[in-house]
Structure 1
Amino acid sequence: MPDVVVSSGAHDASRLPAPVRSARELIPLLREHAAEADRTGRLSETVITAMRKAGLLSLRVPAVNGGPEADLRIAFEVHRNLAHGCGSAAWVAMILSGSSLIASQLGEEARQELWGTDPLAGVCSCLPLTGTAVESPQGVTVTGRWFPASGVHQSRWAVVAASRAGDSPVLAVVPVEAGVVEPTWATTGLRATRSDTLVLDDVFVPRRRVLPMQSLITGVRDPAHPARTAPSFLPAALVGVAAPLLGMAEFAVEQSREWLRGRAGEGNQRATSSAVLNALADASSRVDRAHRILDSLLTDVERSHEAQQPADALFRGRVRMLVALAAADLRDAVRGTLTVFGGYGMATSNPVERVWRDVETACTHVMVSMDRALDEYGPLLIQPRTP
């Protein structure tokens, strides 16, 4: 198994934060089950149980509610390391961790409802505005279909986005069992995420489990209740979604290096040809560049959180733009490793072939869309800085 390096530079496992150490320890198990997960389109219960027991599906649950309350960098490294074992497992863990951060903005009564009896209870999120919320004095009644609902099969709760007539959108936290999960996820990559469709029909959500959707941008400031205080979610989510991409690309490059070393040792001339070695050098360099971009963004977002000020539009646009650039590098790096392998690159027995499909699918996500990033960031560069 190739060494899994974390951005802190720590190679001694005993010095790593406990969640990162747990993620590294799970890599062999994830690899053992990855091919079957891809074939069957579902993560094994063995893998889910192991990640859940290690707290890796509830990383951002507040400590006051019994959760790990991991910070952004630790969560990033967990999901990056998990992706060395299985892209789908890392993606589900990333979604559930981020969703628990959103839900942590709720008040104490609602948070007790979510995690009071089980701090490891999973929370997924479905943020496309494809549902409606009808207001009442006590809360909202939510109806809609949300796709893709990554992590819904590992979650007890779901955060769904819904529009309101004549008012701003809301986030409603609902029990998954209050709806129906339709099997609609039939994709080329990330198959085992089972990102199916969550359907809700006239589900009442009490006011305590409703947040303004704007809180994703502004965060929540509640000095009287520090556990409810949360920074702007969007910049952290943008960087966080790239963590599984980075881990998968690192794994692909390491696998191609090991494969070439073996072929070169056997005297294979193609393995030492300039075309193949150039492809390897290009792929490796793209991963390094993406890593540096993302590590720098982690620092920027951490500083923004420490300032306890809402991230302005220009900052958010810059983060989105740089994340899209990093994702493009990682996508091209994985494509480049297929050149290194030659015909074997497309063999279903080659784990990098699965990684390639997973990365291509992940790169369709709006968070890493280059077109979306360019459309948002360009106009911001000539406008005054505004929240």
Structure 2
Amino acid sequence: MLNHDQLRQRLYRQAEELVPVLRERAAEAERLGRLPDQTLNDFQQEGFFRILQPARWGGYELEPNDFFRVQMTLAEGCMSSAWVLGVIAIHNWQLALFDDRAARDVWGEDSSVLISSSYMPVGKVERTEGGFILSGRWGFSSGCKHCDWVFLGALVPALEPGRAPDYRTFLVPRKDYQILDNWNVMGLEATGSHDILVERVFVPEYRTHRAMDGFMQDSPGNAVNDAPLYRLPFGQIFVRAVSSSAIGALQGAVEQFIAHNRARVGVNDGRKMVQDPAAQLALANAMVCVDDCRAVLLRNFDLMLQRAQEGAPLEMQERVKMRYDSSLVVQKCSTAVADLMFNSGASTIFREHGINRAFRDIHTGRAHVANHPAKYAWNLGGVAMGQDSNDFFL
């Protein structure tokens, strides 16, 4: 049996070997509007979904940095594929925070079963004996056609008048929801992020997870999943699942920019692109952007895990700063990839060009609510000057 160091090295190597394969499959994935079956099979076979899954359910219980290194590497070949992996594999971590009965429901017969999500708090909730009645329509459930369960967000009305509602994640089986096929977008086409429809289904109490428990790093699942990994704040884990693939996609665009322009000569002026200051600047900035974004990600998770191992909570300003760090990633990458595209000549306007695909995918990823930096910047500035945080998805 491999130890953790051997396992993580094997995972890194397997991810690197899949990069050219995913790049070759990218056009097919876009056409299908989902991951090709072989890509999903590859991810399952290589154990990528199990990186953060509890060992008691066949997982590896490695560290977040191990997972995000794999995700970023895969994104060099296909950001859509890496995005789906990021979102779905994080759910295998979040399920460990639920009451253990929920994990038994999902993985009791097959520990490879996958969960999609939509955390937008649009569900309508009624209390009933033993749980809740849930209804609603949720958007943007990435990879939902590959999954047999879904996490859905909703606000549970307070029991006492005047108290704030309780945000929870509800775990719902495939038989209790419909997938509404409506994913027709400019980028990340292969994520298949369709809508989910639920009409008055019963969800037992134990199949819900309170956001406040995740924020306090003290969830029901910690009774059996007691590794420091499962004491990390849920908000910090999830937001990186929808930003980190942009780092890998930009790295892939950097490599394709070099290959495309190394010997290219401008057809209008006969100038070699390697001597074009604008192209040199665009490439240099993109390379530094990748390095900066990756370094901040790894640094932040090193600190989070260190605190969890010590049993010392993160300070509020540290959480708010890390949240802002994550929100900046896709904005930075979108600027860098745009400069690469516009300094690569007219051939990059064709959809099949790798830099064009990276441009579309990264800009589409920026539309995710977690990747809008302004409100997280305001919160960081306010907290630094003594105000209370207005965000608890931290």
* TM-score, length-scaled by structure 2: 0.88
Aligned to 1:298: 301
Aligned to 1:5: none
What letter matches 2:378 in structure 1? D
Contact in 2 for aligned 1:235/1:301 (Cα 8 Å): no
- Distance in 1, matches of 2:199 and 2:226, equals 32
Identity over the aligned pairs, expressed in percent?
A: 25
Match of 1:26 among 18, 38, 44: 18
Aligned to 1:352: 355
- Distance in 2, matches of 1:274 and 1:231, equals 45
Aligned to 2:282: 279
Question: What number of residue pairs does the alignment pair up?
Answer: 375
What letter matches 1:176 in structure 2? R
Contact in 2 for aligned 1:264/1:272 (Cα 8 Å): no
Contact in 2 for aligned 1:27/1:84 (Cα 8 Å): yes
- Distance in 1, matches of 2:359 and 2:266, equals 26
Aligned to 1:225: 224
Q: Please give the per-residue CA displacement for 1:237-264, whole angstroms capped at 9, x wherever unaligned.
A: 2334322011000010111012222326
Contact in 1 for aligned 2:98/2:219 (Cα 8 Å): no
Q: Quote the offset at 1:145 in angstroms.
A: 0.9
Contact in 2 for aligned 1:283/1:334 (Cα 8 Å): yes
Aligned to 2:366: 363
Shift in CA distance, 322/339, structure 1 to aligned 2, threshold 3 Å:
same
Contact in 2 for aligned 1:287/1:329 (Cα 8 Å): no
RMSD (Å), alpha carbons? 2.5
Q: Please give the per-residue CA displacement for 1:263-303, whole angstroms capped at 9, x wherever unaligned.
A: 26998524422222222222222222222222322222222
Aligned to 2:385: 382
Contact in 1 for aligned 2:168/2:209 (Cα 8 Å): yes
- Distance in 2, matches of 1:278 and 1:102, equals 41
- Distance in 2, matches of 1:30 and 1:234, equals 29
Q: Quote the offset at 1:36 in angstroms.
A: 1.6
The 3-state SS of whatever aligns with 2:48 is coil
Shift in CA distance, 205/341, structure 1 to aligned 2, threshold 3 Å:
same
Contact in 2 for aligned 1:314/1:385 (Cα 8 Å): no
- Distance in 1, matches of 2:218 and 2:210, equals 10
1:176-191 residue pairs with structure 2 within 5 A? 176-191=174-189
The 3-state SS of whatever aligns with 2:278 is helix
- Distance in 1, matches of 2:216 and 2:6, equals 37
- Distance in 1, matches of 2:330 and 2:247, equals 8
What letter matches 2:324 in structure 1? M
What letter matches 1:73 in structure 2? N
Aligned to 1:159: 151
Instruction: Name the stretch that deviates more: 278-287 or 151-160.
Output: 278-287
Shift in CA distance, 107/164, structure 1 to aligned 2, threshold 3 Å:
closer
- Distance in 1, matches of 2:266 and 2:372, equals 41
- Distance in 1, matches of 2:388 and 2:121, equals 27
Unaligned runs of 5+ in 1: 1-12
Shift in CA distance, 318/345, structure 1 to aligned 2, threshold 3 Å:
same
- Distance in 1, matches of 2:187 and 2:307, equals 34
- Distance in 1, matches of 2:252 and 2:364, equals 17
Q: Quote the offset at 1:211 in angstroms.
A: 1.6
Shift in CA distance, 312/136, structure 1 to aligned 2, threshold 3 Å:
farther
Q: Please give the per-residue CA displacement for 1:102-127, whole angstroms capped at 9, x wherever unaligned.
A: 11112232212111211111012211
* TM-score, length-scaled by structure 1: 0.89
Aligned to 1:328: 331
Match of 2:63 among 67, 71, 94: 71
What letter matches 1:121 in structure 2? V
Aligned to 1:258: 259
Q: Quote the offset at 1:67 in angstroms.
A: 1.9
